Structure 1
Amino acid sequence: MSGSQAHGDNAVGLPRSVRPALESVLDRVAVTRGQVAGRFPLFAEPGTGRWTTTGRGSWTGGFWAGLLWLRARHTGDTVDREAAVRCTDRLADWVDADTATRGLIFWYGTALADTPQSAVLRDRAAHACRDAYDGELGLVPWGSAFGGPRLLARADGVPGMVPLLATVDAQAAESHLRRHLELCLDKDAMGWSWRYERPGGWAPCDDPPPGWSRGRAWLLLAVAEAVDRVGADDLQDSVRDLAAAHAVPPADEAHPEGPLDTSAAAITAVALLKLGHGDRAVALLDELVHTHLSDDGRLLNGCYDLTSGTAIRHELIWGDFFLAYALATLTGLVGPHEA
């Protein structure tokens, strides 16, 4: 399937299941909205579907807002739209938080929104992130909002940050991406998190582990965003290195018989659609929909954190978002580069 074909729901591999799958996931959004009572869903038990929630959204709040906007666009219902507006407005507390995950929070939480206040919120967040950009390090540091050392470079601090920064400073956005690629794809010491120390420079960290499923997925998504937003067309070698997976990956490559991580596959599918690799994206989506999506729209077998044993076979809010976004791209509900 070519990139131009990716907007029809008769795509190779998912000829008739795209729309029913999308409707199922977005129906689940309405159920979740009723369950969480104004809080932000984080992950849900595979058996009961009961959500663990957070009051302020943590680094995942933007994905819940994004799901609400997808549902609002799908239904055209005023109640759905008002819920999306309220949720997006609640992200404002994170504008001045010292964290590179503001990319995840504000890009995916506002990109599908269509209100003046969401545009203002996105602009405020973009400028705050630009102010946090460290010219010496060539990136926006991971930050101190979640504890631990501030001067970190982590793979999950790149997606969302690239398009968000690019709205105010394309050069900073490209530098942020390239510095992370330079560190994380180092042939001699590949890793998804690096700490900067004065003196001494960058040193790899053990957490997340080298086999972490979402490391490649997050960076591939960031590269796809950069190709579209800042014209970084020379990154094809990085695409080949990062897009090697053809199936749902294990949560940790060091434990191939352990839990899978469907959220990593959903992220990868979105990145592949953005890059025009429709056949590969559809193959991943086919596996997700027919093997891991429950009848009531829950993407199961996501792994939040294998090291700590947290939610290792669960429904994850970002997994739901990226699956829904990929399916919505195939149906033409959204364009591949809207978020």
Structure 2
Amino acid sequence: MTIAFESLDPRYTLPQPGLSQAWLSEAISEVLVKIDAMLPRFALTFPAASADGGIYPEVGKVDWTEGFWTGMLWLAWEVTGDNKYREVAESLLDSFEERLNKRIKVDTHDLGFLYLLSCVNAWKLTGDLRARSLGLRAAELLYQRFDTTTGVIQAWGDLNDPARQGRMIIDCNLNIPLLFWAADETGNVSYREAATRHLAQAARYLVREDASTFHTYYMDIHTGQPLRGDTHQGFSDDSCWARGQAWGIYGFALGFSHTGDITQPELARRLAHYFLNRLPDDYICYWDLIFSEQDHAYRDTSAAAIAACGLAELLKHLPLTDPLRPAYNTAIGLMLRNLRTHYFAHQQDGLLREGVYNFGRNMGINEPNLWGDYFYFEALIRLSRIWTPYFC
């Protein structure tokens, strides 16, 4: 299948002022103030996936998102060196260990989001052997979700549930780095082979010919043949869910870091053009890319933050002479500038207003959400210094 390569919207080729170090420093300081305000409430537990009326409820080990809170704490520690962030992040390791011991909500591919941002980075940053062990246990659970016939990691649910078997989703692009890390740590080539095969199947079936993406895709677990694509969170099976497209940009850009496959950054580039060419005037996407200004649809600031990180990752793998590097830098700057200027959650919990969790299920609509907060912070860190991402 040939994937379309759209020309980039001329808006991104116009000269734009960059984000200065002073601007980035001020933006990071704003983030730290918000994290400090939340820290007393979430030292022993976690914010929910999305806010309710602008306030994050407290939750335990119930969702796929708890790692984003510890991820923000580790980012804050890296930026400041203040051990109050490290101490809370390390204390929450007990929760991630209990989750594994009692098998609480671990029937999911989201083990990457959970354990990369809590345990794997704790090991990388501090040499915590317990954190390393927890990360490896989570990686083994993720590997067990890999089906050798289809070549994909089952997204959710009981592996014996016929309704869920053979289902992959675009979000998994950001979870499989857990397997690449575990392969490097242990020498177990099966982890790497599973992650590489899944990434190839995602590129083959989740990406449409026009470089838009399905949210989900089903494979026949008996024959390995493709069945159909649909959506779980987008507007329709034929539309392009904005956050899914952002997961694709970031995940395929990361794919090169882990596999050396030169087709991965080029695929990320194609997805990025599709995404950027459908942004409204303030460069913050609607929750599905099918919408335009006259639809008055909700934005999804979290998708914009993920896409900014994905573009920054893509830039790492492009030659310095690539003619579109300035355009991608402009796009990142425009999105981050407008997120901070128009969508920062000054009067709410969290960092970004106007995220959308799951529109069809009436979940977290027009609210801050935890992954949007994390990736906004990550994007600022990426631009402000030389930094090794937690997904690498």
Question: How far is the alpha carbon of 1:215 from its aligned partner?
Answer: 1.0
Q: CA deviation at 1:282?
A: 2.3
1:104 and 2:110 correspond: no
Query: Corresponding residue for 1:271?
Result: 310
Secondary structure of the equivalent of 1:311? Answer: strand
1:224 aligns with 2:233: no
State the partner residue of 2:139: 126
- Provide the rounded CA distance (Å) in 2 between the counterparts of 1:70 and 1:118: 17
* Equivalence for 2:50: 43
Structure 1 residues 20-39: aligned runs within 5 Å: 20-36=26-42, 38-39=44-45
1:43, 1:53 within 8 Å by CA — same for their partners in 2? no
Counterparts of 1:180 and 1:30, CA distance in 2: 38
Whether 2:240 is the aligned partner of 1:211: answer: yes
- C-alpha distance in structure 2 between counterparts of 1:181 and 1:93, whole Å: 35
Q: 66-75 or 189-198, which moves further after superposition?
A: 189-198
- Aligned-pair CA distance for 1:222: 1.1
Correspondence list, 1:146-185, <5 A:
149-161=164-176, 163-167=177-181, 168=183, 169-185=191-207
Deviations 1:223-244 (A, max 9, x none): 1221112212122441233112
Give me the whole-angstrom Cα distance separating, in 1, the residues matched to 2:83 and 2:268: 40
Q: Are 2:330 and 1:330 equivalent residues in the alignment? A: no
Q: Using the TM superposition, give the Cα deviation of residue 129 of structure 1 relative to its aligned residue in structure 2, in angstroms.
A: 1.9
Q: Identity of paired residues, percent?
A: 25
- Counterparts of 1:39 and 1:74 in 2: how far apart (Å)? 23
Distance 1:178 1:232 in 2: 10
CA separation of 1:85 and 1:38: change in aligned 2, threshold 3 A: same
Name the structure 2 match of 1:288: 339
Q: Is 1:143 aligned to residue 156 of structure 2?
A: yes
261-270 vs 80-89, which deviates more?
A: 80-89
Contact map agreement 1:57 1:91 (CA 8 A) in 2: no
183-192 or 104-113, which moves further after superposition? 183-192
Q: Secondary structure at the match of 1:92?
A: helix
* Deviation, structure 1 residue 67: 0.8
Output one character per residue of 1:99-148: Cα deviation in whole Å (capped at 9) or x when no partner. Answer: 11112211233343222222221122223222332111112111316996
Q: Specify which of 214, 217, 224 is matched with residue 191 of structure 1.
A: 214
TM-score normalised over the length of structure 1: 0.86
Residue equivalent to 2:323: none
Per-residue CA deviations over 1:141-171 (Å, capped at 9, x if unaligned) read: 113169962431111122132x211121322
**Distance in 2 (alpha carbons) for counterparts of 1:103 and 1:202:** 26
**Greater Cα radius of gyration, structure 1 or 2:** 2
Aligned to 1:6: none
Q: Secondary structure at the match of 2:152?
A: coil
For normalisation by structure 2, the TM-score amounts to: 0.75
Residue among 266, 269, 283 paired with 1:240: 269
Deviation at 1:62, TM superposition (A): 1.1
Kindly indicate whether structure 1 or structure 2 has the higher relative contact order, using CA contacts under 8 Å at least 6 residues apart: 1
Is the Cα–Cα contact under 8 Å of residues 72 and 84 in structure 1 kept in the other structure?
Answer: no
- Report the aligned-residue RMSD: 2.6
Residues 66-111 of structure 1 show CA distances to partners (whole Å, capped at 9, x for unaligned) of: 0111122233233321101122342234545221111221123334
- After the TM superposition, list the runs of 4 or more consecutive aligned residues in structure 1 that deviate by more than 6 angstroms: none
How many residue pairs get aligned? The number is 326
Do 1:26 and 1:324's aligned partners in 2 also have CA atoms closer than 8 Å?
Answer: no
Q: How is 1:303-322 mapped onto 2 (pairs within 5 angstroms)?
A: 303-322=356-375
Q: Which letter does structure 2 place at the counterpart of 1:26?
A: L
Secondary structure, aligned partner of 1:258: coil
